[in-house]
A and B are shown apart, each in its own frame.
Chain A
Amino acid sequence: MSFLLLIFKNTFRNKVRSFLAVIGIAIGIATIVGLGALSNGIITSFDKTMHVGGADFSILSKQQNETGINPYGTSTFSEDWLNKIKEIQGVKDAKGIYLATLPVEGKLLAVGGFDYKDLKSRDNSLIDGRNISENANNEVIIGKLASESLNKGVGDELSIGEDKFEIVGISESGNSNQDSSIYTLLSVIQKMVKDEKSLSMISVYVEKGADIKGVAKTIEDKYGENISTVTSVSDVKRMDDLVNMIKGVSLAISLLAIIIGGIGIINTMIMTVFERTREIGVLKAVGWSRTKILSMILGESIVLTLFSAVIGSIIGVIVLETLVAIGIMGNTLNPVFTLETFIQGFEVAILVGLIGGLYPALRASKLTPTEALRYE
């Protein structure tokens, strides 16, 4: 039996008590993992919108950026900007996008108008049918989730506002935001909402090897009064605030978990040490050093919290995925679990184990053997 196995066996000696301690910490860890995945989800979904079709960054109207990013809103700016942007050094191409929330078969859905080339570049997300043809003025592609909720497929007719369209393709990108949207050509939607010559967003592609941030800055410097460049979430104040708020809440919960979980672990481990006083006396009598006893008790504490981290991570994933599955989260927000979210949970768990286990472990290691052996 290895020392590690000995620690494992000791940790789960009193099953009920270990279970209760594990649950307490696991809930904290689940919350940390869950919030981490949510803020990742927000960032990812936003990033996808801002980098549609592989764009390096996006341009929004100044007003829209300040009131908060609402890519499907109506705040627009003139199409003339497109040419001004294209002239900037380092810009390879710029494409206009028009986004609007419109009544589709009686439901309000996001409808996006894209440049033909933009649509072409998204060919590989088509799961059924074909792409929109170059000059078609009555063709749409709909996202898989939209197709499910509208119960329509390729070949079906789709009414948007007053106009009738034909569904030519179904797309799936995995981003629920995009998969709940309708896609058509830029000119078609501009005409439909009677807002020709306007754009909601410009996707910018820089020359190969050009510095993305540098190009964005050149644009900001030159036209910053009227338009804003967005390279990442942190460029958009309201999104940035939201993400920071979630991070703040997550930090607060981490701290709470450390304090509450730490107290729980101290309590559990003190009881363990208390109950095993004679046993610790025997360990000393057979030659175990203080450090050995310290590392055993601390080890048990860390095993307990690591186990909690595993359980907590599983709970976090199950709860979030369940919320998504039953539709409570709406379909715009998809949690994104990354290695970092779990690592954060495990870091907190180890910290709790160390902090909570230290005092009981020190107490155990300092017991005098005779006192410990006399203990009834």
Chain B
Amino acid sequence: MAEATNGYKSGSTLEKILRAGKFAATAELGPPKNADAEVIRKKAAQLKGIADGVNITDNQTAIVRMSSIAAATLSVQNGVEPIMQMTCRDRNRLAMQADMLGAYALGIRNLLCLSGDHQQFGNHPMAKNVYDMDSMTLIRMVKDLRDGNKFQGGEEIKGTNPRFFIGGAENPFADPFEFRPYRLAKKVQAGVDFIQTQLIYNVPKFREFMKRVVDLGLHEKVYILAGVGPIKTAGAAKYMRDQVPGMEVLDEYVQRMEGAGKGIEDKKEKAAAAREEGIKICVELIQQMRETPGVAGVHIMAIEWEEAVKPILERAGLLPRPVVE
């Protein structure tokens, strides 16, 4: 039985902000590699009232962390709306649906569906992977639970069904480039409500992607949040450019990061200058995203640097956040 949600699919803040046509801003909250709830509380305090929702990653890069369902619940308790991530790497459809029932019961309303990084990258490369489903069929399953009132296996849900605002990811920089907009179209068809993109450090290429997305009319069917993030060091910029599969970083950003802090002797000051440049680049990127047709918001990935989100949004003119209902 569907709960009353006043015409909203899930009633989450993120959904309301997007529906109201406001430019959304989401952030990330990475769960700790231990069982300390205090870590979540601290990070949540830095993001409360700043971001419309925070992604709670699910064993990101295949490294064991506090479960996204537990961390998302702690986030709810600390007044920050979670966007719970779920990957297909670690759970089969039974476990995923069980977690969805639990997550909804615990007050979680946004769910981001991912295939997940291969376990080879993480701290348990010897693990068996699951991949019972993929991100596409996961999206469809969440939609069926919500709108079809049935489990993936076909059985009807008696009683409260989980009603999530359904997220997905898209990487405009992964190959083959010409197929990416079509893959997004498939996710829309599967039932995705919003999309967060991979980190963008190549605006012309992203705009080319968005042009095709707009030509296909997809921006009217799905909210697209452009992925941006502050770079901390020149080394990080180079690493993302050269080592991370499916990431593109234009040389100009690497050069700017290298140039920041040039001539400064003091190590601390030098690092601070680089961080400042990273934040500056991020603010510029947000501005460029706001000017890109079809973009409904930004997703700020300041991984293990949550305190950077506030100054970034402040300088981008996106604070205070709109209040809905």
A and B form one complex? no
Chain B residues proximal to chain A, CB less than 8 Å: none
